[in-house]
Chain A
Amino acid sequence: MSSNKENFVVPGRYKQWTYGLLAVGVLSLIIGYILYGGEDHGTRFWAALLQNSVYFLLVVNAAMFFFTATTLAMGGWPLVFRRVTEAISASVIPIGIITFVILMCLVFGGHDAIYIWINKDVVAHDEILNGKKGFLNPTFFTVYTVLTIGLWTLLGWKMRQLSRSIDNTPLTIEEGRRYIFTNTVWAAIYIVWFALTVASVVPWLWLMSINAHWFSTMYSWYTFASTFVAGMALISLFVIYFKNQGYLPFVNKEHLHDLGKFQFAFSIFWTYLWFDQFMLIWYANISEETIYYKTRFEGAYMGLFYLNLVINFLAPLLIFMSRGSKRNYATVTFMSVLLLFGHWLDFYQMVFAGPYPNHVPMNLFDFGIAAGFVGLIMWQTGRVFSKFPILAKNHPFLKESIIHHT
C-alpha cells in the first residue's frame, strides 16, 4: 500500500469548482427570490426548491441504501470504494436540513398552489381531499418528515461510525464474525426504515400530494428506482474521479463493470415501473386517473415525457448493453452524468406539471439551484472523504473485494 495516498487531500481545482457551484446556487437563490418570490405566492420559486432538494436528498440517501443493501447481502465487492459511498451518504445531513426547511415553508407558508391539501377551505368542500384528511394534513406531514430525515441521519451516522470504528484495530476471526453481525443488524434496521420512507410513504407525502386528487400505487417504487439509478451514477462518478486522482488503488475495471451493471439493471427496472404506472392508467382510461397523464403525455410536457424515456431507458439500454462499455471509464462517466441529468428531468416533470399544467417554466434558475446542490454534495463528500482513511483496511471482506472478478 502506498503511504502518501492513504488520506484524500482535497485538490485546489476541486475546491474551486465546489465554491464556484455553491456561489452559483446561492446567487440563483437570491435572483430567483427577487424575480419569482413575489408573484403568485412564489410558486415558481418554491417548486424549483422542492424539486431540487427532494431529488438530491433521495440521490445521496441512495448511497446509504446501496451501502446497507450490500452489507445485508454479504456483498464484499464494494469494500475497496466503501469510503466513497460513506462520504456521499454524509451529505444527507446538510441536504436533509435544507429539505426540511423548504418542506416546512411550503406547508406552513400557505403554498396551496403546490400542496392544495393544506388549504382548509378547499379540503372542507372537496370530498376526495376530505377522505384523505387523516393522511394529508400538516401535523402528520411534519411528524413523518422529522422522523424520516432524523432517522436517515442517525442510522446513516451509526453505519459510518461502525465502519470507522475498526480502522486501527485488526480483528480476529471471531471478532470479525461479531463485527459483521453488528453491521447486519444496523443495516437491517436502516433498510426497514428505508422501506417505510422512500419505498412507500415519503414520495406520497412530498411529491405525489402535489396532485392530491390522484394516486398511484407504483409511485414510490418509481421514485425509488429513479433515485437509485441516479445514486449509483453519483457513486460511479466519485469513484472514477478519486481513481483518476490516484486514490483508490484497488479499484479496477471489475468494480467499474459492476457499478455499470447496477446502473444498467436499475434503468431497466425504472422503465418497467414507469411503463406499468403509465400503461394501466392509459388502458383503463378512467378520467380521474388519466388527469395525471393529460398534461404529461399530450400536453405541454410531452417533449419532456419522451426525452425522459430516451435518456433514462433507450440510452442506457443501447449504450450499457455491451460488456466493453461498462468497463470503459469514459463511457461510464458519460452515462453517469447523463443519467443524473435524466432523472433530474424526471423529477422536474413530476413536480412542475402539478402547479404549471399549461407550460414548462424551465429556465436557468432551475439549473442554477441544481448547481448549488451539486456544489453542496461535492463540498460535503470531499470534506468527509478527506477526514478518514480511504480504505476500510481491517474489514473482514476486504480481500474478497481486492480480488473481485466479474
Chain B
Amino acid sequence: MSVKKFVVGIFTDEQVLFPAVKKVRSAGYKIHDVYTPMPIHGLDDALGLRQTSLHTAGFIYGITGTTTALSGIGWIFNSDWPQNFGGKSHFDLPAWIPITFELTVLFSAVGMVLTFCYLCQIAPFVRKHHFNLRATDDQFTMVIECTEKSNESEISAFLASVGAVGINTQIAETGWWLGRYDSELPPLGQKGLI
C-alpha cells in the first residue's frame, strides 16, 4: 500500500452525515472511506460502493465443502473401508446428508470469515492506521483523500461548510502492517484529535 495525505472530517449526527456525503461526492472529492460506530442503512448506496463479492466467495467455499464431504465419505465407505451397517447399501446418500450439510456450512463460514478479515485488513498481530478512535464510540468520520486536483485547505473549508464539527489533516499508511496496538507507535504517528 502507500502513504497518502487525507483530510478527516468528524460528524456527530447521522442526519448531517448523509447530505454531507452526497455534497462531497457531487463536488467531486474522492472519499477514502466513512467510519461509523454502527452500521448505517443506505450509507453504502450513498457512497456509491459496489456490492461486495463476499457472497460469491461464500458460495464457492460452500460448494467446496459439499464436494469434500461427498467425495470423502464416498471414498471411505465404498473403496477404502466398506462396512455393513444394518444391511444398508454402501452408497447410502441420506445418511451422508448431515455431514455434507455440516461441512458445507463449516467451509463457507470459516472461508468467509477469513476472506472478510483479508478484505477489511484485520488480523492478529497486524495493525492499521485509525483516523479517529472515537469512530468506534460516538463519532462519524469521513476521510477524504487529497489528490493533485484538490488541496487541503479547500477540502477543509468545504467540510466545514457541510457541517463537520472537527477537521484535521493526516498523513497515513492506507494498508496494514505487522505490529501490535499496545507496544509501538505507528510509523507516522497518530495526530491528536478532538
Give min CB distance, B101 to chain A, whole Å. 9
The reply on A321 being an interface residue by CB < 8 A is yes
The reply on B77 being an interface residue by CB < 8 A is no
Given known A-B contacts A323-B51, A405-B41, A405-B45, A282 and B94 have beta carbons under 8 A apart: yes
Which residues on B are within 8 Å of A, measured CB to CB? 41-42, 45, 51, 55, 59, 86, 94-95, 97-98
Q: Which residues of A sit under 8 angstroms from B97, Cβ to Cβ?
A: 275, 279
The reply on A285 being an interface residue by CB < 8 A is yes
Which residues on A are within 8 Å of B, measured CB to CB? 275, 278-279, 282-283, 285, 321-323, 403, 405-406
Nearest chain-B residue to A284 (Cβ)? B86
Q: Which residues of A sit under 8 angstroms from B45, Cβ to Cβ?
A: 405
List, sorted by A's number, 20 A–B pairs whose CB atoms are closer than 8 Å. Answer: A275-B94, A275-B97, A278-B94, A279-B94, A279-B95, A279-B97, A279-B98, A282-B94, A283-B94, A283-B95, A285-B86, A321-B59, A322-B55, A323-B51, A323-B55, A403-B42, A405-B41, A405-B42, A405-B45, A406-B41
Nearest chain-A residue to B58 (Cβ)? A321
Given contacts A283-B95, A321-B59, A322-B55, 13 further A-B contacts (CB under 8 A): A275-B94, A275-B97, A278-B94, A279-B94, A279-B95, A279-B97, A279-B98, A283-B94, A323-B51, A323-B55, A405-B41, A405-B45, A406-B41
Which applies to chain B's interface (DSSP): helix, strand, loop or mixed? helix
Bound together, the chains give a CA A282 to CA B51 distance in angstroms of 43
Bound together, the chains give a CA A321 to CA B42 distance in angstroms of 22
Give min CB distance, A280 to chain B, whole Å. 10
Q: Which residues of A sit under 8 angstroms from B86, Cβ to Cβ?
A: 285
Nearest chain-B residue to A283 (Cβ)? B95
Give min CB distance, A253 to chain B, whole Å. 12
Nearest chain-A residue to B98 (Cβ)? A279
Give min CB distance, B87 to chain A, whole Å. 9
Q: Which residues of A sit under 8 angstroms from B51, Cβ to Cβ?
A: 323
Bound together, the chains give a CA A283 to CA B41 distance in angstroms of 47
Nearest chain-A residue to B40 (Cβ)? A405
Nearest chain-A residue to B56 (Cβ)? A322
Q: Which residues of A sit under 8 angstroms from B41, Cβ to Cβ?
A: 405-406
Q: Which residues of B sit under 8 angstroms from A285, Cβ to Cβ?
A: 86
Bound together, the chains give a CA A279 to CA B99 distance in angstroms of 13
Closest 5 CB pairs of A and B: A405-B41, A405-B42, A279-B94, A282-B94, A283-B95
Nearest chain-B residue to A324 (Cβ)? B51
Give min CB distance, B8 to chain A, whole Å. 26
Give min CB distance, A297 to chain B, whole Å. 10
Nearest chain-B residue to A321 (Cβ)? B59
Nearest chain-A residue to B86 (Cβ)? A285
Bound together, the chains give a CA A322 to CA B42 distance in angstroms of 19
Give min CB distance, A363 to chain B, whole Å. 32
Give min CB distance, B88 to chain A, whole Å. 8
Bound together, the chains give a CA A264 to CA B48 distance in angstroms of 28
Bound together, the chains give a CA A369 to CA B59 distance in angstroms of 41
Nearest chain-B residue to A279 (Cβ)? B94
Bound together, the chains give a CA A278 to CA B86 distance in angstroms of 18
